[in-house]
Amino acid sequence: MSDDGTKALSVIGFIGSVFSPWYRWSGRREPQNHCCINVATYGPGGRFTMTDRGRSALRQSNDTLTVGPSRIHWTGTQLIVEVNEVSAPPVVSPVKGRIVLTPAGMTDVEVALTEEGSHIWRPFSPTARIDVDLTQGHRWQGHGYFDANFGTAALEADFRFWTWGRYPVADGAACFYDAIRKDGSRLEIGLHVTSDGRARMIEPPPPARFARSGWFVERHTPADPGTKPRQVMSMLDAPFYSRSMVETTVFGQKTVGVHEALDLRRFSWPLLMPMLAVRVPRRAKWRFGN
């Protein structure tokens, strides 16, 4: 999120592109054949890029993930994203540039989201600075977040619905997961991480509902009793998924952070896949230059 709150950005590197219809239609047998670096910018000049690429586009090393023309590189102190993508309809245009994320501190936290460990969350750095230099006028600085998820099963196989939020607080950041698993059990996680990376589990404030998304996805996020969260900016609004800037109050502090709500029941609808294919083109072949 930009320091002035007018722009935002998300970058996700996928091996096994979770939300790709092409990966789902393939039976999800070969994750390396459905990889992607998804870059989305929000605010004026916002663009969405998510190209499903084949195995020939994937290169991996201990510190670098390359997918076709874009790559994510860890220097030991910074995460550098080199972007060279094309945005999806309705506005098709090149999205190019560089993003540098500098963590304030790194954690070694690893959280199993299911009892059998089929989904793992790694919040590497909930507090970071970010410097964005992309096309469409996205040249700004702000505060950022760096994590990873790993899974051995489809999300809709283990979950019905989940929400996630990351909120800056005076002494670092608070992160929350609230999910209903497929068997009906509930996952409620609160994590506080100081700016220098010291982490501890916390009891989340009670969930408070706020307005549904444009596609009527249900939304709630932790809030101190007597306060009501509100959306500050809609970032991504899909039939099964909402990402937005949300203002809430936690532990007596008013804060604006990024919130996500994911309805896996809707994501299971077969008719949704052709809709997604318009926004997620498939490019099976790629050749790296010398």
Predicted pLDDT at 8: 98
CA dihedral 167, 45, 41, 74 (to 10 degrees): -110
Indicate if the pLDDT at residue 290 is higher than 70.
no
User: C-alpha distances in angstroms, 149 versus 12, 48, 110, 156, 226?
Assistant: 10, 21, 10, 15, 33
pLDDT (tens digit per residue) in 210-226: 999 999 999 999 999 99
Instruction: Tell which residue, 27, 282, 10, has the closest CA to residue 154.
Output: 27
The pTM of this model reads 0.95
Task: Find the angle CA(233)-CA(11)-CA(155) to the nearest 5 degrees.
Answer: 90
What is the spatial distance between Cα 165 and Cα 201, in angstroms, rounded to a whole number? 15
199-230 exposure pattern, b = at least 16 Cβ within 10 A, e = fewer: beebebbeebebeebeeebebbbbbeeeeebe
Q: What is the pLDDT of residues 169-227, one digit of tens each?
A: 989 999 999 999 999 999 999 999 999 999 999 999 999 999 999 999 999 999 999 99
Query: Distance between alpha carbon 120 and the CA centroid of its chain, in Å?
Result: 14
